[in-house]
Structures are given as C-alpha cells and as structure tokens.
C-alpha cells in the first residue's frame, strides 16, 4: 500500500486573501461543508485575529464541520494565538497554524525595530525565540500545532534547519515550508525539502508540509517535487486562488498524484468526484471565474475539437484522454432539471451541489426555479447555483429592490428609476448614466447614499442561448474594505441591480458586525 499524503486546503484563508474579497461566515461554512464532502484532511478556516467576522467563521466551522481537522492561522504573537484557541475551543479536531518569517529579507524587513535586536544576527536570535514561544503557547490550546517558516524558499538553509529543529522540540507536529513568494523552481524546492529531512534532528517526529505560490507558474510542480522528496502534507487552494498569482491548485495536485500514482507512489484520501462541484462553488462564492482551459476542472479540460483528436478519441478514448470527466465529477453536473422536476427532486439536486437549504429557502428557490424552468425549459446546475445565490442571502438584507425601470437605446440618454426598501422604508431614486447599467447603479447609489466605488463588473451567460440567465458579479470597495455581490436574472439590467444591492448588503452586514463586536468588547 502506498503512503498517504495529507491534503490541507487553505481556500478559506490564503484563497480568500486572493480575490480581494471577504467571505462572510455563512459563505465560508457552505464552502467548508463542500470541502468536507471532498474529504480533504485539513480545512484552514481563517485567521481569527484578523476580524470579528473571521473569528466567527472559524468558530462556526470548528463547531459544525465533522471529519476534517479545522485549522486557524496566527502570527507568532500571543494575541493571535489566543484568538485561535478561543475560536477553536469547541472544535473536535483543532489545529493552530502559527509561524514567523524565516528569510533574512523577512527578518530584516519586518523586525526593523531595535527591540528585536540591532544586528541581523541579534534579530535572527529573537525571531527564533519568538517562534519557539509561539509553538509552546499554541500547544496550550491544541495538541495539533503546525509551524510555518514564512519565505522558507529564500531563507538561509542553516538558519531554517535550526528554526525547524527548535519548533519541533517545542511541540510542533507539522512543519510547513512555504515558498511564500513563488521564487523557487521545482528541483531547488525538492532539494530544500530533502535537505531538511537530512539535516534537522528530530524531523522524523513531524510531518513536512509544502505550501507553494504561483508567481512563476510553478506552484504545482514545486509541490509535487516536495512530495517526491518526502513531504507528506500538501497545501493548496481550490482553483489555485490565492495572494497575487495564487497558490498551488489543489485539484491539479490531487489529480497528478492520482493519475501518476505509478510515478509518485503515494495517494490522498480526496474524493476526486467532488472536485468539479467544489471548484464551481468556490468560483461562484468568491466571484472569480475559472478559465475554460484550466487543467482538471476548466470547461474545456475534456473537450476535443481538432479533427485528428476527435477521430482518435472516438476510436479509443485513451488516445487523447488521461483522465475521464467523470473522475472529477464533471458528468454528473450535466443533469438537467425541467419544470416537471418536483420540489423533492430540486432538494436532492441542491444537496448534491453542497447546499443544504432550509424549508423556507427551498420554498423560495422552488418558486424561482419554476419561473426559470418555464422560460428556459431546461435548468442546469449553473442556473440552480445562480438562483440560490440570488434568493438565499447569506447576510440580512438592509436594502431590497422593489421596482426597477430602465430606458436606453441607440439615440436615448440611458435613464433608470429604482424603488428600494431601505431598512423597511420605501425610497425612490432616478439617474442617468453612460449606459443602462451605469444609470441603475447611480440610482441605487443615490438612494442608499453609498460612497463605495465599483472596482470590478463582470457579466456572463450562465448557460448558452439568448434566453440564458445572465449572472453579474461586482466588486465594491469602501474605506479599504472590499466585497463581492452577485445577481442573476434573464434580464441583465436587473441582474446588475441585484448584484450591486447584494454587495451593499454585505457592507451593511460588516458594519453591523463591527458594531456588535465593539459593543461586546
């Protein structure tokens, strides 16, 4: 039997940092449920000290998700570690992931203050002491403590070995070697992992973990070289989301280890048939679409179009296909629902998609489903997900769209009138704009008095055809905070208005969350 590699998913922490988006605790919980279905071993749920929202998300996931270990991130700072301890207090399998910069670039840059020492040598000593203290403190809250040596990819190996040895002696059971800046190349990263195994006393008491970023497009290759050289935990995110160019894409790592088990000689416990569904859920929740040519889960990953390929494929599948779409759960997603699908059928499908909806949510979704099924005849999973995100709001609605009228044409000034319920009171606004979408957003901004700036606007047809639902994703920024809003409708102006209002509701919910936490402190 081959050795098992632990799969550590950090979509909800490193991945979330990516899109410039904050996920609410309800959204994180929905994704965490799906990650549990995918059967990852560890879910990094967030960074509790970073915000009351993230604290709540880690706490809820820790309480509700059974199966995987739930991990919370901290710096090597007592307050951060205590926040992790508190957030994970009711979790069955908690892990605290703490760490500190290991490269001289990080040590010199982040610890400039003289209280960390005057010379680089003094600072290195201080950082080592902080690393050890952090692990010891974390062990007071959890038996399972992972240590990250940030920017290990650019660290002086001798110092890195010393740091790793010290944190293992202090009680770390997993040691993460992040290539934080995506600087290394596969052979070099693999050699680093091997040299840690060869040079750190006590290394056999810890699992070595690989955490690679994709700045030079080598995150997955680096991760796999890490595995070849003895790492037994892989860290990554669904769809490769993450800071800057992203993290190693988990679906690619899993399928590489599985498809080339002959070469790597290891296995994971991931249920690969859940990969496609997980990918779509994450793309949808974070508002970052998957490119069609994306390996493993892109829409074209299994499409053959050139004549020679199609001919060969039809004669014998293996000629041009090394994995089958059903291996990653793509075929199942093609199930089509129609107006004849009853409420029960809809519920079953929604559960399979990772949405355990309440009775009330199901009523709402079913009403909307019937309207869409009437217009479109065939309803795909993509349509269902759009309906759900539109109907089931993870945050309470401070603003609700009651009425929308827009007017535009080749020789008309685009104009929009909206009527909204603003905290229970009906208010109206009207505006002109550069186009109908601009006009409607201006009218909504007028009514809600928002100062938020529209950073990103994307529209795509959920399925094909002119009757397809249009799904709009917007990203708004206000005082350094960013949120993503989504809206779907067969009318794209309405979808745009819904997306804009959804984002404003998220800001309102963040504001009320901040007020709650100030009141409680």
Chain positions contacting ligand KIV, by CB under 6 A: 14, 148, 150, 176, 178, 180, 211, 213
CB of residue 52 vs Zn ion: minimum separation in angstroms? 23
CB of residue 269 vs ligand KIV: minimum separation in angstroms? 22
Closer to ligand KIV at the Cβ: 178 or 236? 178
Residue nearest to Zn ion (CB): 14
Placement of tokens 């989301």 in the chain: 241
CB of residue 229 vs ligand KIV: minimum separation in angstroms? 19
Segment 312 to 341, residues that bind Zn ion, using CB under 5 A: none
CB of residue 25 vs ligand KIV: minimum separation in angstroms? 21
Q: Is 371 helix (H, G, I), strand (E, B) or coil?
A: helix
CB of residue 47 vs ligand KIV: minimum separation in angstroms? 9
Q: 410-442: string of b/e by CB count within 10 Å (b at 16+)?
A: eeeebbbbbbbeeeeeebebebebeebbbbbbb
> DSSP characters for 36-56?
HHHT-SEEEEE-GGG-HHHHH
Closer to Zn ion at the Cβ: 84 or 499? 84
Placement of tokens 């997993």 in the chain: 174
Spatial contact of 328 and 270, defined as CB atoms under 8 Å apart = no
Closer to ligand KIV at the Cβ: 50 or 259? 50
Of 173, 301, 163, 314, the residue nearest 233 (C-alpha): 173
**Which of Zn ion, ligand KIV, none does residue 21 bind (CB under 5 to 8 Å by kind)?**
none
Residues 6+ positions from 141 with CB-CB distance below 8 Å: 81, 82, 84, 85, 88, 94, 96
Placement of tokens 């399979």 in the chain: 352
**Which of ligand KIV, Zn ion, none does residue 75 bind (CB under 5 to 8 Å by kind)?**
none
The H or E element spanning position 63 is helix 52-64
DSSP state of 434: S
Query: Which segment (8-16, 69-77, 327-335, 498-506) binds Zn ion by CB under 5 A?
Result: 8-16
- Based on the number of CB atoms within 10 Å of its own CB, is 359 exposed (0-12), middle (13-18) or buried (19 or more)? exposed
**Which of Zn ion, ligand KIV, none does residue 226 bind (CB under 5 to 8 Å by kind)?**
none
**Which of Zn ion, ligand KIV, none does residue 148 bind (CB under 5 to 8 Å by kind)?**
ligand KIV
Angle formed at CA 397 by CA 35 and CA 519, multiple of 5 degrees: 85
What are the tokens at 138?
């974390």
Closer to Zn ion at the Cβ: 186 or 345? 186
What ranges make up the beta strands (E) of 194-334? 207-212, 233-236, 266-267
Closer to ligand KIV at the Cβ: 18 or 29? 18
CB of residue 490 vs ligand KIV: minimum separation in angstroms? 41
Residues 6+ positions from 403 with CB-CB distance below 8 Å: 417, 418, 419
CB of residue 257 vs ligand KIV: minimum separation in angstroms? 21
Query: Which segment (9-17, 70-78, 278-286, 412-420) binds Zn ion by CB under 5 A?
Result: 9-17
Closer to ligand KIV at the Cβ: 53 or 150? 150
Under the binding rule (CB under 5 A), the answer on residue 44 touching Zn ion is: no
Closer to Zn ion at the Cβ: 152 or 416? 152
Closer to ligand KIV at the Cβ: 147 or 399? 147
User: How do 6-9 and 42-46 pair as beta strands?
Assistant: parallel
Of 259, 199, 268, the residue nearest 227 (C-alpha): 268
- Ramachandran area for residue 185 (φ above 0: left; ψ -120 to 50: alpha; else beta): beta
Closer to ligand KIV at the Cβ: 101 or 487? 101
CB of residue 354 vs ligand KIV: minimum separation in angstroms? 25
CB of residue 139 vs ligand KIV: minimum separation in angstroms? 18
**Which of Zn ion, ligand KIV, none does residue 17 bind (CB under 5 to 8 Å by kind)?**
none
With CB under 5 A, what is the number of residues at the site for Zn ion? 1
Closer to Zn ion at the Cβ: 14 or 80? 14
Query: Which segment (13-21, 93-101, 135-143, 217-225) binds Zn ion by CB under 5 A?
Result: 13-21
Under the binding rule (CB under 5 A), the answer on residue 14 touching Zn ion is: yes
Query: Which segment (12-20, 226-234, 254-262, 380-388) binds Zn ion by CB under 5 A?
Result: 12-20
CB of residue 212 vs ligand KIV: minimum separation in angstroms? 8
Closer to ligand KIV at the Cβ: 100 or 385? 100
CB of residue 513 vs ligand KIV: minimum separation in angstroms? 24
CB of residue 226 vs ligand KIV: minimum separation in angstroms? 14
- What Å distances lie between residue 435 and 98, 408, 411, 415, CA to CA? 49, 7, 11, 8
Of 99, 65, 64, the residue nearest 81 (C-alpha): 99
What are the tokens at 477?
């920024």
Closer to Zn ion at the Cβ: 235 or 382? 235
User: How do 453-461 and 470-478 pair as beta strands?
Assistant: antiparallel
CB of residue 14 vs ligand KIV: minimum separation in angstroms? 5
**Which of ligand KIV, Zn ion, none does residue 150 bind (CB under 5 to 8 Å by kind)?**
ligand KIV
User: How do 233-236 and 207-212 pair as beta strands?
Assistant: parallel
Closer to ligand KIV at the Cβ: 134 or 447? 134
Q: 278-298: string of b/e by CB count within 10 Å (b at 16+)?
A: bbbbbbbbbbbbbeeebebbe
d(CA 385, CA 399): 22
Query: Which segment (7-15, 376-384, 471-479, 492-500) binds Zn ion by CB under 5 A?
Result: 7-15
Q: Which residues here bind Zn ion, judged by CB under 5 A?
A: 14
């Amino acid at each position: 039997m081959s050795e098992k590699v632990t799969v550590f998913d950090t979509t909800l922490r490193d991945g979330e940092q990516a899109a410039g988006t904050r996920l609410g605790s309800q959204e994180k919980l929905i994704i965490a449920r799906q990650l549990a279905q995918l059967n990852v071993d560890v879910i990094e749920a967030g960074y509790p000290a970073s915000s009351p929202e993230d604290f709540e998300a880690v706490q809820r996931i820790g309480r509700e998700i059974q199966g995987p270990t739930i991990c919370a991130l901290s710096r090597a700072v007592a307050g951060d570690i205590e926040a992790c301890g508190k957030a994970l207090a009711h979790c069955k399998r908690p892990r605290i992931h703490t760490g500190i910069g290991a490269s001289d670039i990080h040590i010199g840059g982040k610890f400039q203050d003289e209280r960390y020492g005057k010379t680089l040598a003094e600072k290195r000593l201080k950082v080592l002491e902080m690393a050890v203290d952090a692990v010891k403190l974390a062990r007071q809250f959890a038996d399972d403590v992972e240590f990250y040596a940030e920017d290990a990819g650019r660290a002086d190996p001798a110092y890195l070995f010393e740091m790793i040895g010290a944190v293992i002696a202090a009680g770390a059971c997993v040691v993460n070697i992040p290539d934080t800046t995506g600087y290394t190349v596969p052979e070099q990263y693999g050699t680093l992992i091997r040299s840690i195994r060869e040079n750190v006393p006590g290394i056999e008491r810890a699992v070595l973990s690989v955490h690679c970023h994709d700045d030079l497009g080598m995150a997955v290759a680096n991760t796999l070289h890490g595995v070849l050289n003895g790492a037994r935990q892989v860290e990554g995110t669904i769809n490769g989301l993450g800071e800057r160019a992203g993290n190693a894409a988990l679906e690619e790592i899993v399928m590489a280890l599985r498809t080339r088990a002959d070469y790597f000689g290891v296995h994971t416990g991931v249920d690969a048939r859940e990969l496609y569904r997980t990918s779509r859920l994450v793309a949808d929740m974070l508002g970052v679409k998957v490119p069609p040519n994306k390996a493993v889960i892109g829409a074209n990953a299994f499409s053959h179009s050139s004549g020679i390929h199609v001919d060969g494929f039809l004669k014998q599948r293996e000629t041009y296909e090394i994995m089958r779409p059903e291996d990653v759960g793509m075929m199942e997603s093609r199930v089509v629902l129609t107006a004849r699908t009853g409420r029960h059928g809809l519920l079953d499908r929604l559960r399979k998609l990772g949405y355990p909806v309440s009775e009330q949510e199901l009523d709402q979704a079913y009403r909307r489903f019937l309207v869409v099924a009437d217009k479109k005849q065939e309803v795909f999973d993509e349509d269902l997900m759009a309906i759900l995100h539109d109907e089931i709001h993870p945050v309470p609605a401070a603003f609700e769209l009651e009425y929308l009228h827009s007017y535009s044409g080749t020789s008309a000034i685009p104009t929009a009138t909206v009527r909204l319920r603003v905290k229970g009171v009906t208010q109206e606004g009207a505006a002109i704009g550069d186009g109908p979408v601009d006009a409607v957003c201006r009218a909504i901004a007028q009514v809600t008095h928002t100062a938020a700036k529209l950073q990103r606007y994307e529209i795509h047809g959920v399925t094909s055809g002119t009757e397809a639902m249009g799904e709009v994703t917007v990203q708004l920024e206000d005082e350094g905070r960013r949120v993503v809003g989504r809206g779907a409708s067969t009318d794209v102006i309405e979808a745009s208005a819904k997306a804009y209002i959804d984002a404003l509701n998220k800001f309102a919910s963040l504001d009320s969350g901040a007020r709650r936490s100030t009141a409680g402190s």
